[in-house]
Amino acid sequence: MTRQSHIDSLPTDPASGWVLAHVLRMDGYVPGEQPRDGRYVKLNTNENPYPPSPRALEAMRAAIDERLRLYPDPLATPLREAAAERHGVGPEWVLAGNGSDDLLTILVRTFAAAGDAIIYPMPSYILYRTLAEIQGARPVEVPYQSDWSLDAARFATEAAATGARLAFLANPNSPSGTALKPDAVADLARRLDIPLVVDEAYADFAEADCMALVAELPNVLVTRSFSKGYGLAGLRVGYLVAHPDLVANLTKVKDSYNLDRLATVGAAAALADTAYREQTRARIVATRARLTAALRRLGYQVPDSQANFVWCTGGPPATAVYEALKARGILVRLMRYAGHPPGLRISVGTDAEIDTLLAALGEIVAVAGGSTS
């Protein structure tokens, strides 16, 4: 066989020849912009505006040596033990992930086969849809009610009707920042006979969380992230808490070494630094209250947020406002959901960043109001 005849047999468009049909059809998840230069006031991806715990940085510096030659602990044991202690469970209830997104992937691969349904409320974290699509599973989206409460009976009926194998609930939710109370989540879990993943990426900013439900209800699994509450988005660490039988099976599905050595020690040290976490949380919660009030004075509708961002609708056309802010060096997240007008999701930055945002937004809204009246 000559080389030429081999080349002739290759498709001219390699992707359409080889990539699985369901992947070809996908749009893929589009993360918020991460500009490479630091000239933007960056309020678009809910990073913590404050640096990570100095103890976490110190622990990681101390781990940068010849031991990097060796593979890390497959279960990130120091982190697993620190998380278990924090939540009053045994380490066998905890699984660490390379960001909580890694855990969401593991959950989908463990519970849903191609063709199965995965159910979650909408508008919410778009990655749930992407993960379902990658798996060849069917996304089933149940709308939130207009006050961001969830009709649990309807959700359970849809889950049963579609034969869903897995449910996601971002709580606090993105983009709304609202949260269902633990009682409402427990009620939802009791109506379902499938795993309910409570994605608590923003629980560090909320008044309540659902961690206590895990021991009570075997179908509740809770995920946490170091990206928002701990200011460690760049490190990529999260963990989940679930019944040990579930954790044992999820462990089979994960990558062997899903956390690196530095991430394991850094996250464990950050978790132990409770005082630092409380301090940054208090600052963000105070700035959030000020931002919410100011946006409402500008005419925006802003639900009370339990997260480190706020959701703004009802002002001048959101796309134009997003562009005008970007032109002034301020990045916020423009969100579009089918059936909803576009809105702006604004991360709670430092007080100085929020002052800059509010000054710019005040001018943009005044001009937009003047031009339409």
Residues near ligand PLP (CB under 6 A) are 99-101, 125, 170, 174, 199, 201, 225, 227, 233, 238
In the beta sheet, which residues pair with residue 138?
Answer: 117
Q: Which is nearer to ligand PLP, 201 or 346 (CB)?
A: 201
CB of 17 to ligand PLP, least distance (A): 33
State which residue has the least CB distance to ligand PLP: 99
Estimate the crossing angle of helix 261-272 against helix 77-87, to 10 degrees: 20
Query: Residue 269 or 365: which CB sits closer to ligand PLP?
Result: 269
Task: Provide the minimum distance between the beta carbon of 368 and ligand PLP in the complex, in angstroms, as a whole number.
Answer: 29
Report the DSSP pairing between strands 117-122 and 164-170. Answer: parallel
Q: Rg (Cα) of the chain, in Å, rounded?
A: 22
How many H helices and E strands in the chain? Answer: 15, 11
Nearer to ligand PLP, 48 or 100 (CB): 100
Minimal distance, residue 7 CB to ligand PLP, in Å: 42
Please identify, using beta-carbon distances, which residue of 227 and 287 lies nearer to ligand PLP. 227
Query: Kind of pairing, strands 343-347 and 94-97?
Result: unpaired
Instruction: Tell the smallest beta-carbon distance from residue 16 to ligand PLP (Å).
Output: 31
CA dist 82 and 56 (Å) reads: 13
Q: Which is nearer to ligand PLP, 247 or 298 (CB)?
A: 247
Instruction: Annotate 306-322 with DSSP letters as a single string.
Output: SSSEEEEBSSS-HHHHH
Q: Nearer to ligand PLP by C-beta: 195 or 238?
A: 238
Angle between helices 152-162 and 182-191 (to 10 degrees): 30
Cis peptide before 175 (omega within 30 of 0): yes
Minimum distance, C-beta of residue 185 to ligand PLP, in the bound complex (Å): 15
CB of 99 to ligand PLP, least distance (A): 3
